[in-house]
Amino acid sequence: MGFTDTLRARWTAANSLLCVGLDPDPAKFPDAYADDDDALFAFCRDIVDATAEYACAFKPQIAYFAAHNGGEAALQRLIAHINAEHPDVPVILDAKRGDIGSTAEQYAVEAFDRFGADAVTLNPYMGRDSAQPFLQRGDRGCVFLCHTSNPGARDFQELTVPDGSGGGEPLYQRIARTIAGEWNGANNCALVVGATFPEEELRDTINRHR
């Protein structure tokens, strides 16, 4: 069963849309982990075990692990723990990868083979060839940045680009349409859309259904 089907099955089984982010910052850990040399793993493992009943997915942020000595090994162990103890809950590796084809191939190996993630977040701005090594893994998910929630999102994502019929459209809409239509041949694509622009999302929904 592919990532999309696994995620949908989990939505139904857990009756939940909760995606639990795992962004461990040792400076903010409770005192109980202060003397634990394995705190990075232990803290996240305990969160996973406490929330698995309610989660439709787990989303570890790779930077919060890679920034620390031994952190990537802790991430690898954490995902292995999720896969072993909570196999019905998919793991989305938040890495936002996007690079030339040969490098992208290695990033795909990193996300799917080394870490064992079910899906990975990706940056689409280098085009189809940078995404292809991920897209061709039909059983794994590709979650592309589209309209993000950070304040600077408007710097580029809302720029108007030609729509091919003499008009124009925001860049993020072009991204969404291209990924949904041209890149989603294996039905394994999804989009990152921030919930901080409700007016724009409502407007887009109305325009699509006119």
Tell me the CATH number at 43: 3.20.20.70
pLDDT digits (tens, 9 = 90+) for 131-148: 999 999 999 999 999 999
pTM for the whole structure: 0.91
pLDDT digits (tens, 9 = 90+) for 78-104: 999 999 999 999 999 999 999 998 999
Longest dimension (CA), the chain: 64
Domain that holds residue 11: 3-208
CB 140 within 8 Å of CB 79: no
| Domain count within the chain | 1
Q: Which residues are catalytic?
A: 96
Hey, how many other C-beta atoms are within 10 angstroms of the C-beta on 48?
A: 22
